[in-house]
Amino acid sequence: MRAASGSLNAQVVMARLQRHYQSTKSFSARFEQTIERVGAPPLRRSGQIHFEKPGKLRWEFETPQAETIVSNGKTIYDYDPGLNQVVETPLRQAFKSQAATAFLLGAGNLERDFIAAPVRGIGADGLIHLALTPKTGGNRIDVGIDRTTYNIQTMTIVDSLGNRTELHFSDIEVNQPLAASLFQFSPPAGADIVGSQGIQ
């Protein structure tokens, strides 16, 4: 796993991660999210994530501000109860706009879509840290990988404006049955429905 320089072999790690990624059909976990925006105080949120291939996802943000993001495999719904607004985005459009989205929804291919490089050796957290740069352009994803299970436990994305989003996953369950209702979404009565055009 380690080269003579002490750095990790990114290609070996990437191949093992790809095999684990392909064998993962469903995934559930608790998450802690920190968003550091330029010129603004950090925003910290937590909640639950459920994911099922192909392209099904449910992010349930619980605190401090509720938000629900659901993908049924065809459309992504982002519901903000504070605004009583739902933003709808076709899944294909989301994939075209960003490789990171396809990765998060389990529709990407790591070895095909990304260039991997070691961020550093195994750190104090005991994780393998790998930088994934989309070959077609877009935001780099830094992931922290468990050396035993190859589950991704941390994920960091920095956008072109310098805004940083960091995720930490815990209580991870892989390939467990998930209820179909998790990936169904009906807009609440009276909610404003906003298409994706004009909001990118």
Beta-carbon contacts of residue 80 (< 8 Å; ≥ 6 apart): 67, 86, 87
Can you give the pLDDT at residue 115? 87
User: Would you write out the chain's pLDDT as a tens digit for each of its 200 residues?
Assistant: 343 333 458 888 888 888 888 898 999 999 999 999 988 999 999 999 999 988 899 999 998 889 999 999 899 999 999 999 999 988 877 666 566 666 666 666 788 888 888 876 666 788 999 888 888 877 888 999 999 999 999 999 888 888 999 999 999 999 999 999 999 999 988 999 998 664 43
Can you give the pLDDT at residue 39? 87
Can you give the pLDDT at residue 60? 95
188 DSSP assignment:
P
- How crowded is the C-beta side of 164, counted as CA atoms within 13 Å? 11
Nearest in space to 50 (alpha carbons), one of 69, 33, 63: 69
Q: Are 93 and 87 in contact (CB under 8 A)?
A: no
The alpha helices in 43-119, defined as continuous H runs, are 91-97, 99-104, 110-113
Nearest in space to 42 (alpha carbons), one of 168, 166, 169: 166
Can you give the pLDDT at residue 27? 92
8 DSSP assignment:
B
- Only one residue has tokens 């070959």, namely 135
**What residue ranges define each of the domains in the chain, with the CATH number in brackets?**
10-173 (2.50.20.10)
CB atoms within 10 A of CB 23: 10
Can you give the pLDDT at residue 139? 83
Phi, psi at residue 93, to the nearest 5°?
-65, -40
Can you give the pLDDT at residue 196? 65
